[in-house]
Amino acid sequence: MATVLKETAQDANPWDVSRAELYTQDVWQEPFRQMREKSPIYFCPESKFGPYWSVTNYKAIQHIEALPKVFSSSWEYGGITVAGDGLDHLQEGDIPMPMFIAMDPPQHTAQRRTVAPAFGPTEVERMRADTVARTAAVLDSLPIGQPFDWVEKLSIELTTQMLAILFDFSWEERHKLTRWSDVLGDIESFDTLEKRQHRLATAFEMGASFKELWDRKAQNPGQHDLISVMLQSDAMKHMSHEEFMGNLILLIVGGNDTTRNSMTAFAYAMDKFPEERAKLEQNHSHELAVNAMHELIRWQTPLAHMRRTATEDTELFGHQIKKRDKLALWYISANRDESVFPNGDKVIVDRENARRHLSFGYGIHRCVGARVAELQLTTLISELQKRRLRVNVLEEPTRVPASFVHGYKSMMVELSQY
Ligand code: HEM
């Protein structure tokens, strides 16, 4: 792991952790450690995304997420990433697409309630057998002893299949979901008119495709896929086209990059921490696989931050926050808060409190798809164990250049059997 940031602008503030290059080069750990120690609530006066507060410890993030009236998620103020500027600052090529992750109560409550049952324990249990079968099929299709890209052949394939099933989307065209998710989840795509237009064109392409699916589902009621569930609900059936697209983007980006990156993180981390891999190779119990899954989601933190906007002047642990200030809640840092997770940069598959991680957020917006993600990752770990497969990483992965989606673009590996 590199420890010094290469090619940094001379005058860059080392504590401006919204800079994409910190993540591409995997050198974000040290600035966050310093902030947690010296200034866990830090005002960054200037950045590519304007001024913002960085909140970097566990306690303060929980505190903020428990006060959604004071710290809003609303798209009208800029939504859930440090990039958004809200309705007052719309630029050419921007069209707001409201989604319920970026709404406050009462709209948030009503829309979340509609989709939540599709991700509840009963539904997820119903998905188990199929998830095991698909994971087994993908693993059995991979070559042993030959190099291949784990991201493309395994992580993308498995998460895209799951999304296609959740939406009852065309199986043959499922790879479109990956492309749409990559473009729409990229917060670095706001900075030029050209990039905003490309983003918008992608959103419309996706919207048109889903509109067809929506119309088909409307004529064929009573099914259990996500579109049918939305169509049949009072809270969602009257959505505008923009709101419909917004919520689709939410479910696709929410379910895709995040789970994909935790699957890649698992393979990467097992190679990086061989003594932890040995524990999983020797002990095939379900309990250890589940704990390793929680630990990997903590360690990776597939969404590095969520953002909130202050709705009023307020005090936060001695800091004066002004109405409309942006606050970036850095889960990636809270998940390494020394007071909760000692030695947090290290993966410890049997870490006692791994499941206390904040990767799924906290409070009223806590990830609605968490159980589906957990099922997919645990299944992957168990199916690798059953086949006694070891993933050997051949070279450092290339990483996503962003401070929101924290993940991998590609990672060359070779499988062997132990
Ligand atoms: C490891 C995988 C995943 C991670 C790390 C993750 C992370 C998150 C985070 C951080 C939030 C916001 C929490 C907050 O503001 O407090 C969230 C919300 C959400 N996630 Fe996930 N997610 C994952 C998988 C999924 C999956 C598989 C789906 C669905 C297919 C999904 C759908 C959603 C939705 C719909 C919300 C909005 C919830 C709300 O606003 O009430 N996520 N997720």
Check pocket membership of 251 for ligand 1, CB cut-off 6 A.
yes
Residue nearest atom 37 of ligand 1, based on CA coordinates: 101
Which tokens sit at 185?
A: 């989840």
Q: How confident is the model at residue 210 (pLDDT cuts 50, 70, 90)?
A: confident
Q: How confident is the model at residue 6 (pLDDT cuts 50, 70, 90)?
A: very low
Answer whether residue 5 is part of any domain. Answer: no
Instruction: Give 366 Cα–ligand 1 centroid separation in angstroms.
Output: 7
Alpha carbons 82 and 330: distance in angstroms, whole number? 11
What interhelical angle do 241-272 and 193-218 show, nearest 10?
Answer: 110
pLDDT tens digits, one per residue of 9-23: 567 899 999 999 999
For range 119-136, the mean pLDDT = 91
Alpha carbons 262 and 252: distance in angstroms, whole number? 16
pLDDT tens digits, one per residue of 111-125: 888 888 888 898 889
Answer whether residue 10 is part of any domain. Answer: no
Query: Do 180 and 205 form a contact (C-beta atoms < 8 A)?
Result: yes
List CB contacts of 298: < 8 A, sequence separation 6 or more: 335, 341, 344, 351, 354, 357, 359
For range 327-331, the mean pLDDT = 98
Q: Measured from the CA of 65, which atom of ligand 1 is nearest? A: 16
Looking at residue 94, its pLDDT comes to 59
Is residue 159 pLDDT above 50, yes or no?
yes
For range 164-190, the mean pLDDT = 84
Alpha carbon of residue 187 to chain centroid: 13
Q: What is the DSSP letter of 393?
A: E
Q: What is the DSSP string of 268-322?
A: HHHHH-HHHHHHHHH---HHHHHHHHHHHHHHH-SB-EEEEEESS-EEETTEEEP
CATH number at residue 41: 1.10.630.10
Which tokens sit at 206?
A: 């996706």
Alpha carbons 118 and 369: distance in angstroms, whole number? 9
Check pocket membership of 297 for ligand 1, CB cut-off 6 A.
yes
Mean pLDDT of the chain: 91
Answer whether residue 356 is part of any domain. Answer: yes
Residue nearest atom 43 of ligand 1, based on CA coordinates: 367
Check pocket membership of 181 for ligand 1, CB cut-off 6 A.
no
Check pocket membership of 250 for ligand 1, CB cut-off 6 A.
yes
Is residue 341 pLDDT above 70, yes or no?
yes
Residue nearest atom 39 of ligand 1, based on CA coordinates: 365
Answer whether residue 11 is part of any domain. Answer: no
What interhelical angle do 370-386 and 157-167 show, nearest 10?
Answer: 130
Pairing verdict, β 412-417 and 148-149: antiparallel
Query: Do 179 and 192 form a contact (C-beta atoms < 8 A)?
Result: no
Looking at residue 376, its pLDDT comes to 96
For range 228-234, the mean pLDDT = 81
Share of the chain above pLDDT 90, in %: 67
Amino acid identity for residue 228 in this structure:
S
Phi first, then psi, for residue 197 (nearest 5°) are -70, -40
pTM, to two decimals: 0.92
The whole domain housing 134 covers: 20-417
Dihedral of the alpha carbons of 77, 79, 84, 88, in degrees to the nearest 10? -20
For range 266-284, the mean pLDDT = 98
Residue nearest atom 21 of ligand 1, based on CA coordinates: 367
Is residue 157 pLDDT above 80, yes or no?
yes
As a whole number of Å, the CA-based R_g of the chain is 21
Alpha carbons 130 and 128: distance in angstroms, whole number? 5
Check pocket membership of 253 for ligand 1, CB cut-off 6 A.
no
Looking at residue 2, its pLDDT comes to 35
Is residue 53 pLDDT above 50, yes or no?
yes
Pick 190 or 285 by higher pLDDT.
285
Q: How many residues are listed for the chain in this entry?
A: 418
Looking at residue 190, its pLDDT comes to 67
Answer whether residue 13 is part of any domain. Answer: no
State how many domains the chain has: 1
Is residue 239 pLDDT above 80, yes or no?
no
Which tokens sit at 296?
A: 């990997």
pLDDT tens digits, one per residue of 212-223: 888 888 888 878
Helix (H, G, I), strand (E, B) or coil at 92: coil
Q: How confident is the model at residue 90 (pLDDT cuts 50, 70, 90)?
A: low
Pick 102 or 301 by higher pLDDT.
301
Helix (H, G, I), strand (E, B) or coil at 314: strand
Answer whether residue 216 is part of any domain. Answer: yes
For range 327-353, the mean pLDDT = 98
Check pocket membership of 101 for ligand 1, CB cut-off 6 A.
yes
Query: Do 100 and 107 form a contact (C-beta atoms < 8 A)?
Result: yes
Pick 357 or 116 by higher pLDDT.
357
